[in-house]
Chains A and B, each alone.
Chain A
Amino acid sequence: MSWIPHLVAELGMSFGISLSQLIVDNPEPLLSGISELDESLNVGFQSRSIYEIYGPPGIGKTKFGIQLVNNGLSRNSGQDHVLWIETHRCIPWNLVKNEEEEEEEDKIKRFSKVRLNKFTQLLIFFQNLLKEERDPYQLIIIDGFSQTICDHIQILRNRGMDEKQIHNVKCNHLILLFTWMTKYTHSKRSTIILLDDCMNTSYQQLDLHSFEDDFEMVDDGSNFFVRSTMSNNNNNNNNGSTATSFSSSPPSASSRDRAFGGRGRRRNIQVLKSALVANSAMGAKDFKWEIFLKCRIGFFWNWKEETLRADNFSKTHRRQFDRCRLAIVFDPHDERAKTLSDSRERGRKRGIDQVDMQNKIIKFDYNTEEGVFESVNNASVPLLLSFKRPSAMTSTPTMESTSQCSSTVQHIPDDQATTAMEWEMDEIVHDSEEE
C-alpha cells in the first residue's frame, strides 16, 4: 500500500487523514517522555505531521529536541533514521544520552545532521529529499527554523520589498516550504519538528496598512521595543458574531479591553509569540500557513505551586518559589475556529486570540538526575491564559474581584494550612532565597 502516500503527495496538498491512509500501518508514535504532553497530543507526536515548538531562550527547546531524537532512535526496534537540521547553532549532541556504548554506536549510525541556514537551501533540500531514493528519515528536527524565516524576511526587506507586501510574501513562502515538507512527511510517514524562538510583540492584529503608525518606540534606552499608539476611538462591538469593517477594529473585545485597560486607556502589553508570527512581517493572514502545523507547542516558565494569588500569599507567609515549565498546546485546527463561517473572521480568531482557544497546559520540568524532561504533578491548576474580562477588573480590586480572576478557588491542604499558621507567628520570614 505504499503507493497511497505517494499518491497523496502527487495530488498535492491533502489535510486531514483519509480512510485509506488510516489503513496503512502507522509507525510507533514518537513519545516525548512527558506523559501528559504525549496524552494531549493523542499518544505522542504523530507521523505525517509537522509540529512547532517555541519558547523563550533557556527554556530547553534544544534539549527537548535531543530527547526526541533519543526516543526516536530507540523506537520501532531501533530501525528509524533521524535527521537534525542545524541553522546557526551547532547541535549539542554531547547531550545525547549514552547509556551503553554499543547502543550508542548503533544510534549514531542512524543519526545524521545537515547545516542549512538559508530559506532557499531549506526549500531545495526538501524538494530533493523527496525525490531521492535513500532511507527515509522518520524524524526530522529543525533547530532554529524561525530564524531562517526571519532572516529571509529581512533580506527581502533590505532588497526593497514593499512593506505592504511583506506579510503576504512571508505567508506564501511559508506555505511553499510547508507544502514540500508535508509532501515529505506524508510520503515517508515521518514527523518534522520545528524548534523556534520567541519574540515579544505588542502587535494586536491590526490592519496592515496602518501598521507603522500604530506603534511608537518604548523609551527604555534599548531602542528595541515598540508600543502601540492605537487610539481607542472605534468602540464598535466586534465580538465575533457581528463581523464589522475589517480595517481598524481590534480583533475582539476581550483583547482590546485588556490592551486598553478597559476604559480607553492604552497600555503597552508585550506578549511572547513564536518568531514565525512575531517578526517584521506581521499581519493578519498567519492562519494560512498555520494549518500546515498539526500543533504548536509553546514552552513557558511558571511557578510550580499556585501561590500566585497575593491575598492568599500573605496569609500563608509561605514562599514556594519552585518554578517549572509549561507546555501549552495550541491546535490550529480547533473546532471552534472551524465553525466560524466567515473565513476572514476565522483568520483573525486563529492568528491572534490563540490564547482564547482551547488549549492544553502541561506542567513539566527537567529531571537533572535522569537528564530528561518529565511531567510534574499535574493537578489541574487555574492559570491565566485568556484575557481578562473587563468586569473582573475594576480600578480598585476587591477580594471578590480577585477571586473571580482565578477560575477556581485556591485550596490549601490541611497540613499546609497548619504550617502556614506557624509561619505567621514568626516575624521574619526565612526562606531558601538568599543573597
Chain B
Amino acid sequence: MDLYDELPQSELLYDPAFTLLLESCEQHQLSVVDFITLNARELSRISQRSITDVYKFQQLLLRELHLQYVNENQPHLLERGSEPKHFTTGDLAIDDILGGGIFTKNITEIFGESSTGKSQFLMQLSLSVQLPLKMGGLGGKCVYITTEGDLPTQRIEGILSSRSEFTESGVSQDNIFTVSCNDLESQEHILNVQLPVLLERNNSAIKLVIIDSISHHMRVELQGGSVKEAQNNRSYVDQTAERLLDLANKFSVAIVVANQVGDKPLQEVINPYQQSILDYEYQLGWLVGWKDSSIMYRQKQSELINNDDILSDDEDSILIESQFQKFLESREPAQPNQGTTESNKPSNTSVNSNQNAKSRSTLTIQKIRKRNIDQRIPNLGLSWANHVSTRILLKKTYKASPLIQRGEIKFYEGSDVAKFWKVKRILKVVFSTFCSSDEITFEIIKRGIEAIT
C-alpha cells in the first residue's frame, strides 16, 4: 500500500494492530485514495478484513490526513524575503544575461561537451557565492559533489588568488564542503542522506550545492531494455530532481549541476514526411540550444528536400581556404601538401569532405562550405529538463585567427595549421524562468571565466 509514500510520518505504519490489514491492502491493491473515497463496508469486502478493523483504520487515517491539512497544508500569504534570490557568477556581464545571476531554490543546469568550461564555471561559483551580500554574493558556503575524481583544488586556489575581491572578502576553500561519489549507489546515498543532514546541521549557512556531473553515473548505470525500465528510469530522474528541489526550497539553496551531452545524429530518411509542430524532433532544437540554422535544417531534413541553403556558410573556413590557396599559389611550385587545412581543424565534423589542398588550388570553390550542424543534446531527456529553471549551454567553436583575418598569411612559415584558428567560447542561456534566452562570448583565463564584451 502506498501509505508510506503518501503519509511517511503516519503512525499507522508501525501500529501492530494493523499489520495484517496493511498486508491485505497490499495484496488487494487498495490505495490511500480508496480509503478516502470508499466506505468501510466496501473496503472490508475488498480487503477481506473485518469491518471493525477497517473502520478503525480508516478513521485514524482520515484524521491523520486532516491533521496534515490543518497543520502543514494551509495556504498562507506570501512572505517578503521568501522569493528566490540570486548571487553573482563573478562576472557582471554574465550576471546580466542570467537576469541577475544564479538563483536559489531552483536548479540551474550547465551543459556542454568536454573542455567547454563547465567545471571552471562551477568552481568559480563555489567561490562567488561566498562573497558578502553587498558584493553580490550570498555570504554562504558551498557543497561541491563530484562524480569524476576529486575537486581540482589547485585550480580553485588559482582563481581565488588571482582575484583580490575574493581574497579580501574572506572567500576561502575552507567554505567548500567537497565529496566525491564513484557510483550511482554512493551518489544516491550522498544526495538522499548525507546532503540533507549536512544542510540541516549547517543551519542555512550553505547557499549553494554543486553536482559535477548529474548524469555521469545515471547514464552509465541506469539500464534500459524494456518500456518498464525506461519508465523507471524516467521516474528515477524525476525523483532525483524532486528531492533536489525540495532541499533547495527547504534550505533556500541554489542547485547548480553540470550535465554531459549525448549524440543526436541526423537520421537517414527513407520515406519523406513533414514534421508537425507537436513532434518532439521539431521542438527539440529549441530545448537544447541548437543554433537556428541547425534547428530549421533538421526540421526540413525529413522531407528530403535539398535544404543546404538553410545552413550558414562557414565564413571562417572559406576565408582560411581562400587565403591558404593564395598562399600556396604564391609558393608554387611547392611540394605536395602533407595536410589539409581541414584535417588540422580541431573537432572537425564539417559537412564537406576533405579535399586535397593541392588539387583544390587549381579549382575554384564549387560548394560553399557550411557550418556544422548541431547534434549534441544534454543527457537525461525531458524528464530532467522539466525540472530545470535555467539551462546554460557552454560551447567552443573555432574562428579564423587574427593572422588570417588581417590577411597576413604570408607571414605563415611553420607547418602548424592550427595557427589559422582561434578558439571562441560561447555561453548561451537556452532557457530560464528569470531571463530571456541570450548568449555571450567568454574566455577562460587565470581569474576564471570572464565575458568578452
A residues sitting closer than 8 Å to B (CB atoms) are: 56-59, 62-63, 83, 86, 88-95, 108-109, 111-121, 123-125, 128, 147, 150-151, 154-163, 165, 169, 173, 176, 197-200, 211-212, 215, 217, 220-226, 258, 261-263, 265, 267, 269-273, 275, 280, 298, 300-303, 307-308, 310-311, 313-314, 317, 319, 321, 323, 326, 328, 355, 366, 368, 383-388, 393, 395-397, 402, 405, 427-431, 433, 435
A56-B287, A323-B286 known; A112 vs B76 contact (CB < 8 Å): yes
Beta-carbon contact of B29 and A222 below 8 Å: no
Q: How far is the CA of A311 from the CA of B305 in the complex (A)?
A: 8
- Least CB distance from A294 to B in Å reads 21
- Assuming the contacts A222-B262, A225-B230, A300-B277, asked whether A58 and B31 have C-beta atoms less than 8 A apart, the reply is no
Rounded to whole Å, the gap between the CB of A129 and the closest CB of chain B is 8
Q: Chain B's nearest CB lies how many Å from the CB of A227?
A: 10
Q: Which of B44-52, B193-201, B288-296, B347-355 contacts A (4 or more CB under 8 A)?
A: B288-296
Asked whether A58 and B306 contact (CB < 8 A) given A112-B77, A120-B65, A121-B73, the answer is no
Q: By the criterion CB–CB under 8 Å, are A355 and B66 in contact?
A: no
Whole-angstrom distance between the alpha carbons of A317 and B291 in the complex?
Answer: 18
Check A301–B286 contact: CB distance below 8 A: yes
Closest Cβ of chain B: how far from A179's Cβ, in Å? 10
- Given A118-B6, A224-B233, A112–B29 Cβ distance below 8 Å? no
Task: Please indicate the chain B residues that have their CB under 8 angstroms from the CB of A199 in the complex.
Answer: 382-383
Which residues in window 284-314 of B have CB below 8 A to A? 286-287, 291-293, 296, 299-300, 303-307, 309-310, 312-313
- Report yes or no: B271 in contact with A94, Cβ–Cβ below 8 A: no
Interface residues of B in 339-391 (CB under 8 A from A): 368, 371, 379-383, 385-389, 391
7 tightest Cβ-Cβ pairs between the two chains A and B: A58-B431, A223-B224, A321-B292, A261-B271, A270-B280, A200-B280, A112-B75
In the complex the two chains form, what is the Cα distance from A198 to B433 in whole Å? 16
Question: Which of these, A112, A116, A154, A314, contacts B309 with CB under 8 Å?
Answer: A314
Contact with A along B213-255 (1 / 0, CB 8 A): 0000001001111111111011101110110011011000000
Taking CB atoms and an 8 Å cut-off, the chain B residues in 179-218 that contact chain A are none
Give the residues in chain B near A113, CB-CB below 8 Å. 75-76, 78
Which chain B residue lies CB-closest to A214?
Answer: B227
Instruction: Give B84 Cβ to nearest chain A Cβ, in Å.
Output: 6
- Taking a contact as CB atoms closer than 8 A, the residue among B31, B84, B263 that contacts A92 in the complex is B84
> In the complex the two chains form, is B248's CB within 8 Å of A90's CB?
yes
Decide: B78 and A111 in contact? CB cutoff 8 A.
Answer: yes
Inter-chain contact B271/A395, CB cutoff 8 Å: yes
For A298, the closest partner residue in chain B by CB is B278
Whether A223 lies near B230 (C-beta < 8 A) is yes
Instruction: Pick the residue among A93, A224, A319 that contacts B293 (CB under 8 A).
Output: A319
Secondary structure dominating the interface of B: mixed
- For the complex, give the distance between the alpha carbons of A261 and B262 in Å: 27
Residues of B within 8 A of A95 (CB): 433-434
Instruction: Determine the distance from Cα of A117 to Cα of B242 in the docked complex, in whole angstroms.
Output: 10
A261 proximity list for chain B (CB < 8 A)? 270-271, 273
A-B contacts besides A118-B6, A176-B33, A393-B272, 5 pairs, CB < 8 Å: A56-B283, A89-B106, A222-B380, A307-B296, A328-B278
Interface set of B (CB-CB < 8 Å, partner A): 1-2, 5-7, 26, 29, 31-33, 36-37, 65-66, 68-69, 73-78, 80, 83-84, 103, 105-106, 219, 222-231, 233-235, 237-239, 241-242, 245-246, 248-249, 262-264, 270-281, 283, 286-287, 291-293, 296, 299-300, 303-307, 309-310, 312-313, 315, 318, 368, 371, 379-383, 385-389, 391, 397, 399, 424, 426, 430-434, 436-437
Q: Which of B37, B106, B371, B432 contacts A58 (CB 8 A)?
A: B432
- Among B75, B242, B270, B286, the one with the most A-chain Cβ atoms within 10 Å of its Cβ is B75
Which residue of A has the minimal Cβ distance to B430?
A58
Note all chain A residues with C-beta closer than 8 A to B275: 384
Indicate if the CB atoms of A321 and B293 lie closer than 8 Å: yes
Q: Which residues of B contact A211 (CB under 8 A)?
A: 227
Q: Which residue of A lies closest to B243 (CB)?
A: A88
Min Cβ gap A235→B in Å is: 17
Asked if B219 and A222 sit within 8 Å, CB to CB, the answer is yes
Q: Is the CB of A271 within 8 A of B246?
A: no
Give the residues in chain A near B371, CB-CB below 8 Å: 435
For the complex, give the distance between the alpha carbons of A396 and B431 in Å: 38
* Inter-subunit contact A159/B26 (CB<8 Å): yes
A217 CA to B29 CA in the complex, in Å?
29
Say yes or no: A258-B273 contact (C-beta < 8 A), given A88-B242, A269-B279, A385-B278.
Answer: yes
* Complex CA distance for A211 and B227, rounded to whole angstroms: 9
Q: Is the CB of B29 within 8 A of A395?
A: no
CA distance A115 to B78 in the complex (A): 12
The residue in chain B whose Cβ has the minimal distance to the Cβ of A316 is: B309
A124 to B248, CA, bound (A): 26
Minimum CB distance partner of A265 in chain B: B271
Known: A58-B287, A314-B309. A165 touches B29 (CB 8 A): yes
- How far is A117 from B72 in the complex, measured between Cα atoms in Å? 12
Chain A hits for B1, CB < 8 A? 159
Complex CA gap A427/B364 in Å reads 13
Q: How many angstroms from the CA of A114 to the CA of B431 in the assembled complex?
A: 26
Q: Of the candidates B222, B234, B277, B306, which one forms a contact with A384 in the assembled complex, judged by CB atoms under 8 Å apart?
A: B277
A430 to B318 CA separation, bound complex (whole angstroms): 13
Tell me the minimal C-beta distance from B8 to chain A in angstroms. 10
**Which residue on chain A has the smallest CB distance to residue B378?**
A222
Q: Decide: B426 and A435 in contact? CB cutoff 8 A.
A: yes
Chain B residues with CB under 8 A of A161: 29, 31
The answer to whether A94 touches B84 (Cβ under 8 A) is: yes
In the complex, 28 of the A-B residue pairs with CB atoms within 8 angstroms, ordered by the A residue number, are A56-B283, A58-B385, A58-B432, A88-B242, A88-B249, A90-B106, A108-B77, A109-B77, A111-B77, A113-B76, A120-B36, A147-B386, A161-B31, A176-B33, A198-B386, A199-B382, A199-B383, A200-B382, A258-B273, A261-B270, A265-B270, A319-B292, A321-B292, A355-B276, A405-B303, A428-B315, A435-B312, A435-B424
Q: Select the residue from B29, B219, B225, B241 with max chain A CB neighbours within 10 A.
A: B29
Task: Find chain B residues with CB under 8 A from A258 CB.
Answer: 273
| Whole-angstrom distance between the Cβ of B292 and the nearest chain A Cβ | 4
B222 and A223 contact, CB distance less than 8 A: yes
| Given A108-B77, A221-B263, also A314-B246 (CB < 8 A) | no
Nearest-neighbor residue (CB-CB) of B300 within chain A: A310
Taking CB atoms, residues of chain A closer than 8 Å to B29 are 160-162, 165
> Which one of B7, B69, B292, B310 contacts A310 once the chains associate, using CB atoms below 8 Å?
B310
Chain A positions within 8 Å of B84 at CB level: 90, 92, 94
Partner of B273, one of A165, A198, A393: A393
B227:A212 contact, CB within 8 angstroms: yes
- Are B273 and A388 touching (Cβ within 8 A)? yes
Instruction: Tell me whether B278 and A114 are in contact (CB under 8 A).
Output: no
Inter-subunit contact B73/A303 (CB<8 Å) = no
Shortest distance from the beta carbon of B7 to any chain A beta carbon, whole Å: 7
Cβ B386 vs Cβ A197 within 8 A: yes
- Judge whether B224 and A224 touch: CB under 8 Å: yes
Pairwise interchain contact B433-A63, C-beta atoms closer than 8 A = yes
